[in-house]
């Protein structure tokens, strides 16, 4: 089992397809007047990703500064009307248990792409 998958071995995410999104640039200012307003809004939209691949994901992890801040179950993926060529999802927050606060900084270490797939 690859190292990243072992992070979730004893959680409900074990064996699931996961899309982790790095929201570090948006998350701190989410409540500012020009911010997105919520963790959900930071996590759900404007991702440059394959729709087919995104639709196969069971969960989306919202990660800020290397730490999980929320977990969502996407219900529907669609092309953004605001930013063509990018995706957004509609979904529901799930009970994260011990996942919120988990250090997953190794997932994005040395990466410029804010999307990481764990399959």
Q: List, for residues 3-54, the tens digit of each pLDDT value.
A: 666 788 889 999 999 999 999 887 766 666 655 678 898 899 999 999 999 9
Cα torsion 83, 84, 87, 90: sign: positive
- CA-nearest of 43, 46, 36, 49 to 91 is 43
Q: How far apart are CA 74 and CA 16, in angstroms?
A: 13
65-95 pLDDT, tens per residue? 999 999 999 999 999 999 999 999 999 999 8
Helix (H, G, I), strand (E, B) or coil at 44: helix
Structure tokens at 27: 């998350």
Sheet with 87-93, strands from edge to edge, namely: 45-47, 87-93, 67-79, 59-64, 18-22, 115-118
């Amino acid at each position: 089992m690859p190292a990243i998958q072992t992070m979730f071995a004893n959680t409900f995410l074990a064996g699931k397809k996961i899309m982790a999104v790095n929201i570090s640039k948006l998350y701190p200012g989410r409540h500012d007047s020009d911010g997105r307003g919520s963790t959900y809004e930071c996590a759900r939209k404007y991702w440059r990703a394959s729709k087919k691949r995104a639709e196969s994901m069971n969960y989306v992890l919202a990660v800020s500064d290397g730490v999980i801040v929320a977990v969502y179950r996407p219900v529907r993926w669609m092309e953004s009307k605001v930013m063509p060529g990018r995706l957004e999802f509609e979904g529901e927050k799930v009970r994260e248990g011990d996942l919120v606060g988990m250090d997953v900084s190794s997932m994005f270490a040395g990466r410029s792409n804010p999307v990481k797939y764990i399959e």
